[in-house]
Amino acid sequence: MMKGIIVRPGLAGASLDDIGEESGNGRVLVKTLYTGVCGTDREIVAGKLSITRAERGDRLVLGHEALGSVMDPGSSSFSKGDLVVPMVRRPGGCANCAAGRQDYCMDGNFTEAGIRGKDGFMRESFYEEERFLVKAGSGSAGIEKILAEPMKNVMKIRESIFGVIGRGLWDSVKDKGAWIFGTGTEGLLIGSVLSSVGMRVMLVNRHGLPEIAQELARHIGAEFFNSASGDWASGENAVPMDMIVDAAGAPSILLDAVRNIRHTGVIVLFGTGGAGIEEKLNGGTILNMVDKNLTVIGCEDGAREHYEQAVDFISENGEKYGLGKLITGIFPPEDASVLSAKQVGEIKSVIKW
């Protein structure tokens, strides 16, 4: 009997069920330690995420954020007890995928564990190919390593930013200001990484900073701005607006961002909540983008190197920045409530297997 959390893509609901045994075929057998729950999972459970699809039949094992321990290395170079983080995305057939950059897949034929076309990690154990496992230490697990999966997205954002800043006169990002919209897990992780490369960070949301986030803000020296006040200029005095990252999944931010950001600024669109852009992108906004020489980057997923950078970042800075505190709740697999609703005071909820 192997228990796992099953969803039916397109339909609401999730259940903990017997999902049957698999055969290993030389693959690594991983015992699941923790799986993280994020907005993507909740959209799937609500039956609302249009991109989701089953691996076979109409069932999908949920879960793309995981930390596990190697039980049986199979024919791999892993050792029993190694801690591993499985990669979410699996290659399609394009040149980027062949080069290990399925995060930049061009033919759209990739799959994503727990999201589209591949069973995920919310189960007691799973078999995985060595090339899709990233080593995260060995022995007993610091729970903060569950943040490696969301953090890998941040490492790709960092790479993307450094890839484009050279088109302006940005000789470095040091002392430039980054405004980060959204103070959930991704927003706070983006804040900690941009602060670590010397940027001044402004965390932004529309309600007030939760206590755990206030603590992280102190550790990384970030300011906070409540965008409900509407007075962006007052915030700009504290942290210049050279860069804007949408980690809130509110694309309408783009319009305000274009209006307020400095010349040669960079706007990174990361959140995929997709609440929808209410106003139309008009000629004035586009003229502003041109006239200010702005760069807008859409950024999703990350490659193996970003997972490795994420693991290193968490090992090096986890304690200093108090990243473990971002885990605000640990739930048993039987407790389905965490899959459908955000918990009070939640930053990151995890399931312990």
Interface ranges with ligand BGC (CB under 6 A): 38, 40, 64, 88-89, 112, 115, 153, 272, 300-301
Tell me how far, at minimum, the Cβ of 178 lies from Zn ion, in Å. 22
Site mask, Zn ion, residues 270-289, x = CB under 5 A?
--------------------
Tell me how far, at minimum, the Cβ of 4 lies from ligand BGC, in Å. 19
Query: Which CB sits closer to Zn ion, 2 or 38?
Result: 38
Query: Which CB sits closer to Zn ion, 112 or 128?
Result: 112
Q: Work out what residue 112 binds among ligand BGC, Zn ion, none; the CB cut-off runs from 5 to 8 Å by kind.
A: ligand BGC
Q: Work out what residue 176 binds among ligand BGC, Zn ion, none; the CB cut-off runs from 5 to 8 Å by kind.
A: none
Tell me how far, at minimum, the Cβ of 1 lies from Zn ion, in Å. 27
Q: Work out what residue 115 binds among Zn ion, ligand BGC, none; the CB cut-off runs from 5 to 8 Å by kind.
A: ligand BGC
* Interface of this chain with Zn ion, residues 24 to 53, rule: CB under 5 A: 38, 40
Query: Which CB sits closer to ligand BGC, 64 or 200?
Result: 64
Q: Which residue is nearest to ligand BGC (CB)?
A: 301
Q: Work out what residue 268 binds among ligand BGC, Zn ion, none; the CB cut-off runs from 5 to 8 Å by kind.
A: none
Tell me how far, at minimum, the Cβ of 309 lies from ligand BGC, in Å. 15
Q: Work out what residue 242 binds among ligand BGC, Zn ion, none; the CB cut-off runs from 5 to 8 Å by kind.
A: none
CB within 8 A of 288, min separation 6: which ones? 258, 259, 294
* Beta-strand relationship, 223-226 and 82-86: unpaired
Tell me how far, at minimum, the Cβ of 143 lies from Zn ion, in Å. 16
Query: Which CB sits closer to ligand BGC, 40 or 349?
Result: 40
Indicate left, alpha or beta for 117 from its phi (over 0: left) and psi (-120 to 50: alpha): left
Q: Work out what residue 90 binds among ligand BGC, Zn ion, none; the CB cut-off runs from 5 to 8 Å by kind.
A: none
Tell me how far, at minimum, the Cβ of 249 lies from ligand BGC, in Å. 11
Q: Work out what residue 32 binds among Zn ion, ligand BGC, none; the CB cut-off runs from 5 to 8 Å by kind.
A: none
Q: Work out what residue 301 binds among Zn ion, ligand BGC, none; the CB cut-off runs from 5 to 8 Å by kind.
A: ligand BGC
- The CA distance from 47 to 42, in Å, is 9
Query: Which CB sits closer to ligand BGC, 41 or 242?
Result: 41
Tell me how far, at minimum, the Cβ of 65 lies from ligand BGC, in Å. 7
What number of residues does the chain have? Answer: 353
- The CA distance from 264 to 280, in Å, is 23
Tell me how far, at minimum, the Cβ of 348 lies from ligand BGC, in Å. 12
Q: Work out what residue 88 binds among ligand BGC, Zn ion, none; the CB cut-off runs from 5 to 8 Å by kind.
A: ligand BGC
CB within 8 A of 169, min separation 6: which ones? 264
Tokens standing for residue 125: 């154990």
Query: Which CB sits closer to Zn ion, 120 or 240?
Result: 120
Tell me how far, at minimum, the Cβ of 170 lies from ligand BGC, in Å. 28
- The CA distance from 84 to 155, in Å, is 18
Write out the residues near Zn ion by the rule CB under 5 A.
38, 40
